[in-house]
Amino acid sequence: MENPRKNYNILYVDDERQNLVSFKATFRKHYTVYSAQSGKEAIEILRKQDIDLIISDQRMPEMTGVQLFEKILPEFPDAIRMVLTGYSDVQAIIDAINKGQVYYYITKPWKHDELKLVIDKALESYELQMQNRTLSKEKEALQLETERQSKENLLSQYQTLKSQVNPHFLFNSLNALYALVDRDPKTAKQFIVKLSKVYRYSLEYTDEITIHLEDELKFIRDYIFLQKIRFNENLIFKNEISKDRRNVFIPPATLQLLVENAIKHNIVSQESPLVIELYIEGDYLIVKNNFQIRKDNVVSTGIGQQNLISRYSYITDNKPIFEQKGGYYYAKVPLIEAN
């Protein structure tokens, strides 16, 4: 059986020089043959040449064939290893297989045709092993590239979702500002400053996947200031998040969306003030409001909540929870711990 690939490098190790000469003369027309008279010399050759297959005599002074294979295994794990011996020793065979990870055990004296067949089969196995390794590396590279593209696609989808979460209060804010300009110029200036902060926040953090909760709370304070210009004391906001619980993250503008939904869908009046509470339970941030649905039947598209759920799906397996019970509405969003 002639192996299809040419120029395999074979290293033959034997302390008897005549055996080295005989092996090289016999097989040099089939392979590139290197020879060594000791394990130490064999290691020097291995560090200079790419060797595909190593054949070593078992009985050698200083270092046996199995000891040689055991020694080179960590540094040269891919080379096929074969051991030659002139005696039948079961324990030696076991040691050769277990310690040196030997491919084949050959007894002396070897015959040319039989040894050639064994070598070709070993090299064929070696070639398949190398091809499989190459394919595995290519597969791994392809998987990494696929994962990279998948992450880029997910990030693109995430950014698209964020772009859909636009503030709905812009026109109401401008109307409120218009009314303030003549009636209360000082408050109008404050309003302009807060409004600019709100939109600066949206612009600065538009490319962020998550934002520090402390920054989000500063943003929501400015947002609530703008809303209270419209609703005065009819809108009550309570932030009950302690300082020691603020070292976490959430997607940008999450609180704005939840507070905005509470204001949009509920009555906010002197007779029925809307109370919005902000607090943390376990791993969730909770926005709670008294449930007093507006009678003018504002149609909810659910886009805001669905977008928030989708945004969270790219970050964590934990999902936002929305529920009504006991006269209150609860929006619960997972907190993202700092890495």
Q: Assess whether pLDDT exceeds 80 at residue 170.
A: no
Per DSSP bridges, beta strands 336-337 and 248-250 are antiparallel
Per DSSP bridges, beta strands 80-85 and 53-57 are parallel
Q: What is the pTM of this model?
A: 0.51
The length of the chain in residues reads: 339
* Least-confidence region, from 139-153, 214-228, 231-245: 139-153
Q: What is the pLDDT of residues 201-214, one digit of tens each?
A: 877 776 678 889 99
Nearest to 248 by CA among 291, 200, 283: 283
DSSP state of 234: G
Highest mean pLDDT out of 71-80, 87-96, 169-178: 71-80
Higher pLDDT, 79 or 178: 79
Q: Assess whether pLDDT exceeds 70 at residue 22.
A: yes
Banded pLDDT at 119 (limits 50, 70, 90)? confident
3-state secondary structure of 12: strand
Q: What is the dihedral of CA 33, 38, 41, 42, to 10 degrees?
A: 50
User: What's the token pair of residue 251?
Assistant: 């997607």
Burial of 140 (0-12, 13-18, 19+ CB in 10 A): exposed
Note the pLDDT of residue 1: 43
* Least-confidence region, from 8-12, 87-91, 283-287: 87-91
Q: Assess whether pLDDT exceeds 50 at residue 3.
A: no
Note the pLDDT of residue 93: 61
Q: What is the pLDDT of residues 217-226, one digit of tens each?
A: 999 999 899 8
Banded pLDDT at 161 (limits 50, 70, 90)? very low
Burial of 102 (0-12, 13-18, 19+ CB in 10 A): buried
Note the pLDDT of residue 94: 62
Mean pLDDT (whole number) for 234-250: 93
Banded pLDDT at 116 (limits 50, 70, 90)? confident
Domains and CATH numbers, the chain: 9-135 (3.40.50.2300), 165-337 (3.30.565.10)
